[in-house]
Chains A and B, each alone.
Chain A
Amino acid sequence: SQQGEEDPQALSIQEGENATMNCSYKTSINNLQWYRQNSGRGLVHLILIRSNEREKHSGRLRVTLDTSKKSSSLLITASRAADTASYFCATDYFFGTGTRLTVIP
């Protein structure tokens, strides 16, 4: 997308390992959101981080935001097989193409 991108496109890890996904964007933002989509299901909103925040935690999720670099990362710690899904970042103007995470039991 011309408005931003996510990487990696696909990630495969063993259960218990941590997974990190990155998102970069090109315009100024008010907030950035991360979503999860399980196969054949709708989007699930995971976490929202505002432009004046640098880090946010929720359970096993940790999101960072660097507005100077126009980038964000989503860290899932102690991954589980149930975390297998596609993860998307989104801003007002950009919805990423997603990272496909596979957690191997």
Chain B
Amino acid sequence: GAVVSQHPSWVICKSGTSVKIECRSLDFQATTMFWYRQFPKQSLMLMATSNEGSKATYEQGVEKDKFLINHASLTLSTLTVTSAHPEDSSFYICSASRQGVVAFFGQGTRLTVV
């Protein structure tokens, strides 16, 4: 079946630095990718929806300048956490969608900002 690869699986960075997370669809063209954040003991929170070649649609309360999303190709979307702070520490997950609604999840990235 289709596979979505997310990299890195974990990252530790210093406060004030930026971190890029990649989400790749390995064997299909993903017209839409979703980025989620999961807080401890809470559900997945949708951060943004990105369509290839266009600007991402951010959910209410998500800072566009803080979480930069790029979906330059049908197989790659990136999420960059800019000027990271300890409160950005979280589990970030992407999912990639074929034409239609079915989407597959990446394995997630654990970000720790120290």
Residues of A in contact with B (beta carbons under 8 Å apart): 30-31, 33, 42-48, 58-59, 61, 90-95
Contact of A58 among B42, B44, B61, B100 (CB under 8 A): B100
Q: Which residue of A lies closest to B93 (CB)?
A: A43
Q: Are A45 and B43 in contact (CB under 8 A)?
A: no
Are A30 and B59 in touch, CB under 8 angstroms?
Answer: yes
Q: How far is the CB of B39 from chain A (nearest CB, A)?
A: 10
The segment out of B67-75, B79-87, B102-110 that lies at the interface is: B102-110
Given contacts A30-B59, A43-B105, A45-B105, contact A93 B100 (CB under 8 A): no
Task: State the CA gap A91–B59 with chains docked (Å).
Answer: 12
Interface contact B103-A45, CB-CB below 8 Å: yes
**C-alpha spacing A88/B104, complex, angstroms:** 15
CA distance A43 to B4 in the complex (A): 12
| Most chain A CB atoms below 10 A, which of B59, B97, B102 | B102
Chain A's interface: helix, strand, loop or mixed, by majority?
A: strand
B100→A45 contact, CB < 8 A: no
Q: Is the CB of A92 within 8 A of B102?
A: no
Contact B46 A33 (CB under 8 A): yes
What is the CA–CA distance of A45 and B104 in the complex, to the nearest angstrom? 7
Query: Smallest distance from the beta carbon of B42 to chain A beta carbons, Å?
Result: 6
Closest residue of chain B to A61 (Cβ to Cβ) is B101
Query: Whole-angstrom distance from the CB of B27 to the nearest CB of chain A?
Result: 15
18 contacts between A and B (CB under 8 A): A30-B59, A31-B46, A33-B46, A44-B102, A45-B95, A45-B105, A46-B101, A48-B46, A48-B49, A58-B100, A59-B100, A91-B43, A92-B42, A92-B45, A93-B42, A93-B43, A95-B43, A95-B44
